[in-house]
Amino acid sequence: EVQLVESGGGLVQPGGSLRLSCAASGFIFSKYAMSWVRLAPGKGLEWVSAITANGGGTNYGDSAKGRFTISRDNSKDTLYLQLNSLTAEDTAIYYCAKIAARSSGWINYFDYWGQGTLVTVSS
């Protein structure tokens, strides 16, 4: 059974930093691209960032560019998201998601999701 368990969320002051983790199990983590998606209060799902299976390629949404960094440790089956220069607009539940495999390329739909970790940015 595929499981994705996020952690690392919490209350942080504006301008602060946080590192989120996503522990994966139930599949060969090193073979799949992964992604982070967030859900802000009263808003819809927003794609944040994604990373290739070997970590050699990354992609960021406009809200994350220059402030967030995605990474992974395939020896630990864990995905990370470093959040810097946080503002109130970054308050959201952050979900990690597994990207479905495809025969060519790595950009595809999300086929499994975690339960999320809440990040609250407030003074």
Partner 1 sequence: QLVLTQSPSASASLGASVKLTCTVSIGHINYAIAWHQQQPEKGPRYLMKVNSDGSHSKGDGIPDRFSGSSSGTERYLTISSLQSEDEADYYCQTWGTAWVFGGGTKLTVL
Chain residues that interact with partner 1, rule: CB under 8 A: 35, 37, 39, 44-47, 50, 59, 61, 95, 97, 100, 107-116
In the bound state with partner 1, the residue whose beta carbon lies nearer, of 72 and 98, is: 98
Q: How far apart are CA 30 and CA 95, in angstroms?
A: 19
In the bound state with partner 1, the residue whose beta carbon lies nearer, of 16 and 46, is: 46
Interior angle at CA 111, CA 105 and CA 29, nearest 5: 70
In the bound state with partner 1, the residue whose beta carbon lies nearer, of 17 and 100, is: 100
